Structure 1
Amino acid sequence: MNARRILRGVLIVLGMALAIVLGLVYPAIARGEAWHIAQWSSPWWLLALLVVPLVVWRMTLGADHRVPRLAMPTIAPLALGPRGLRTRLRDVPGALRGAALVLGILALARPQNVLRGESAEELGIDIVIVLDLSGSMRAVMDQPSPAPRGPQAQNNRRPTRLDVAKEVIMDFIAKRKTDRIGVVVFGPMAYVLSPPTLDYPLLTSLVQKMELSVISGDGTAIGDALGTGVARLRQSNARSKAVILLTDGDSNAGSISPEYAAHLAQTQGVKVFTVQIGNGDEVDVLEGTDLFGQPRYVRAHFPVNPELLKKIAGDTGGEAFVANDKVALEKSMHTILDRLEKTRFEALSATMEDLFPFLLFPAVGLIALEALVRLLLVRRFP
């Protein structure tokens, strides 16, 4: 009797495996190789596969314990048990239900295929903008341009160097179409705000949120900042790679010297274009607000080092600029682009395709087949 139950269990497992294989034929034909690179967005659902054996057992071998029994003095006339096709097919619904559960759980795990067929050749340059966020960027930068927009326009607040730089950078990004742009900010240390990307809305949002308070402003690590920008371009396959360094001070912090950072840029084929903001004269500096909420300014002097910036630019094949107002800064940024030759790279736009319908349809089909087997063959429903 035990041997018969073991054989029956083996047949149930083989039947369920056959049903699963048949159910996977459609997904394999429809998407083929996509299943080898599929990503599962909800893999925790796969733990539900542990329940499938319990469900199958309860519907097959376990169902025998729930069948009503009649006590009889002898079982000799019934030794051979029931006969007929329906009796032999009584485990088919359980095997089909188990196969349907397996496919359904796989569908719940949300397999997805990464499509990379939408590619186009574009003209572009790889650029990293390196922006100084040291305390000297609080200095006022008046310019012959329309009144500033945003918070700096409130309470008669005059635009600072950072305000103007942010506005120019956002305008620079808005006019780009095929240039991969990254942003590095620095004070006494350098931080990657974004690696080179074509996601211009994200870049604009990140630049817009930059404030002097996000990092320490007690120092100007030009070498570290330039080295970080070059590192972000190391894996670039573009023929034109450039770092645009915007700073208003002299290097006085960091672990890498500006000269060595320029050497690293040379070895990576990166041109460095430097933009000196201000000329080192005494300027008004924003120092908070007074009792009436009006901006308060003090006079301060921030030394610059134009010779260093010219040397960095000259050693790397770039160019040095000086900008004392917004117009000059905008002109410098656009002149830099004119100096850079265009190069081609492949802009890949990746999209995700959900594969779960290809598993869900066979699962539903197996459930329907189970119902038909119960109704027409086994004639036990439910």
Structure 2
Amino acid sequence: MSTNRVARTVLVLAGVLSAIAIGLVYPALARGEAWRSAQWTSKWWLLGLLVVPVVVWRMTLGADQRMPRLTIPTIAPLALGPRGVRTRLRDWPGILRGAALVLGVLALARPQNVLRGESAEELGIDIVIVLDLSGSMKAVMDQPLAQGPQGQGGRPTDRSRRQTRLDVAKEVIMDFIGKRKTDRIGVVVFGPSAYVLSPPTLDYPLLTTLVQKMELEIISGNGTAIGDAVGTGVARLRQSNARSKAIILLTDGDSNAGAIAPEYAAHLAQTQGVKIYTVQIGNGDEVEVQEGTDLFGQPHYVRAHFPVNPELLKKIAGDTGGESFVANDKVALERSMHAILDRLEKTRFESLSATMEDLFPFLLFPAVGLIALEALVRLLVVRRFP
């Protein structure tokens, strides 16, 4: 290879790199730091960079081999042939085409930037609903006298559709969840032991589905471990960054199981800044509980008594800065839940959102610009005749 050809090759390579650098000025100025953490979602397109050297070579050095030649006896008349600026710029169309291809291939690889810095301040609180699933929750919880068709004693005339305390609690909880927008809500269920149904979350559809599927038989109902349940709720709120943290305890029995005393669980809640709001379902009077069916397939009910401990619930709520409520029917339970929410002060927490921004337009624009510049160079500078 002659010295002139080597020098020309170096100049072509330098020209391509310079054109690429110029083309990258706009992307760098527009989204400087974003390129360092960019994710290339279509990396296979980067293999197209292997074609760029071939295209540049065919349009510059390789073009000489495809040029028509005229055999003449002497080259003396050509000594004064074209040696102006145009002859020195004959490789620039290939240089510009190569740089445009590089930028175009990078754009096809589709770089994206994760906008982790975007945030929105929203009003919200962190709540854990602690629900009793002990056997006493199967007691019937009739509607008040003023609601619906009633039989003697304020009971529904259709005895086969009488709701239990758990049925009513589930409906109220799902309604409570459905009316929230920015409150993170979790659910803990308990009998003789406590279980986390869901940690605090904003995924309300999932939370509603989980609550809807709760049944008395999913865990043992032979006991009421209020201390363990409250302690589990406190543990779920310990890592919360919200200023307002609350536990809503719904129970219809006295604490008679578990490894943690309710008073100590209240102390743990107090140290973590968690307010406990207690809702006592029922007042300890005799209630009806379904016990199988009769000869005609109708539900058979028996009278039962489930003791409650309102003093304990009031102490737990009072020690943590919360409040205690008593609900004997669905309406009272709904009012209690909404009263609790009204008493909770609002707080602001950041809801970080990770959104993707496509960066390929910032590469595509200079690529198109280089193609347009190549067309102008061919048209105005290195045009050939004929």
TM-score (norm 1): 0.70
Partner residue in 2 for 1:49: 46
Kindly tell me: are residues 352 and 338 of structure 1, through their superposed partners in 2, closer, same or farther at Cα, counting changes over 3 Å?
closer
Single out whichever of 221-230 and 371-380 deviates more from structure 2. Answer: 371-380
Q: Tell me how far 1:267 sits from its aligned partner.
A: 0.9
State how far apart, in whole Å, the 2-side matches of 1:62 and 1:155 are: 90
Kindly tell me: are residues 56 and 321 of structure 1, through their superposed partners in 2, closer, same or farther at Cα, counting changes over 3 Å?
same
Kindly tell me: are residues 195 and 297 of structure 1, through their superposed partners in 2, closer, same or farther at Cα, counting changes over 3 Å?
farther
Q: 2:200·2:236 contact (CA, 8 Å) conserved in 1?
A: yes
Q: Tell me how far 1:45 sits from its aligned partner.
A: 1.3
State how far apart, in whole Å, the 2-side matches of 1:262 and 1:5 are: 87
Q: How does 1:1-382 map to 2 (within 5 A)?
A: 1=1, 14-32=14-32, 35=34, 40=39, 43-52=40-49, 54-61=50-57, 84-89=87-92, 91-106=94-109, 108-114=110-116, 116=118, 119=121, 122=123, 125-133=125-133, 136-144=136-144, 146=147, 156-173=160-177, 180-187=183-190, 188-195=193-200, 197=202, 202-203=203-204, 206-207=207-208, 210=211, 211-213=213-215, 216-219=218-221, 222-249=226-253, 258-279=262-283, 281-285=286-290, 296=299, 299=302, 303=306, 305-306=308-309, 308-340=312-344, 342-346=345-349, 348=351, 350=353, 352=355, 354-356=357-359, 357-373=361-377
Q: Tell me how far 1:90 sits from its aligned partner.
A: 5.6
Q: Tell me how far 1:118 sits from its aligned partner.
A: 5.2
Q: Tell me how far 1:143 sits from its aligned partner.
A: 1.6
Kindly tell me: are residues 142 and 371 of structure 1, through their superposed partners in 2, closer, same or farther at Cα, counting changes over 3 Å?
farther
Amino acid at match of 1:113: L
Amino acid at match of 2:102: A
State how far apart, in whole Å, the 2-side matches of 1:302 and 1:19 are: 88
State how far apart, in whole Å, the 2-side matches of 1:10 and 1:290 are: 100
State how far apart, in whole Å, the 1-side matches of 2:288 and 2:3 are: 96
State how far apart, in whole Å, the 2-side matches of 1:57 and 1:8 are: 15
Q: Tell me how far 1:16 sits from its aligned partner.
A: 4.5
TM-score (norm 2): 0.69
Q: 1:276·1:321 contact (CA, 8 Å) conserved in 2?
A: yes
Amino acid at match of 1:207: T
Q: 1:286·1:295 contact (CA, 8 Å) conserved in 2?
A: no
Aligned partner of residue 128 in structure 1, secondary structure: strand
Partner residue in 2 for 1:151: none
Q: Tell me how far 1:271 sits from its aligned partner.
A: 1.2
Amino acid at match of 1:229: G
Q: 2:250·2:281 contact (CA, 8 Å) conserved in 1?
A: yes
What is the identity percentage for the equivalent residue pairs of Structure 1 and Structure 2?
A: 53
Kindly tell me: are residues 334 and 314 of structure 1, through their superposed partners in 2, closer, same or farther at Cα, counting changes over 3 Å?
same
State how far apart, in whole Å, the 2-side matches of 1:257 and 1:19 are: 75
Aligned partner of residue 111 in structure 1, secondary structure: strand
Q: Deviations over 1:270-310 (max 9, x none)?
A: 111121223454532487x9999x87465485855525434
Q: 2:159·2:299 contact (CA, 8 Å) conserved in 1?
A: no
Q: How many residues align?
A: 354
Unmatched segments (≥5 aa) in structure 2? 69-74, 76-81, 150-157
State how far apart, in whole Å, the 1-side matches of 2:220 and 2:210 are: 20
Q: 1:38·1:114 contact (CA, 8 Å) conserved in 2?
A: no
Aligned partner of residue 212 in structure 1, secondary structure: coil
Unmatched segments (≥5 aa) in structure 1? 71-76, 149-153
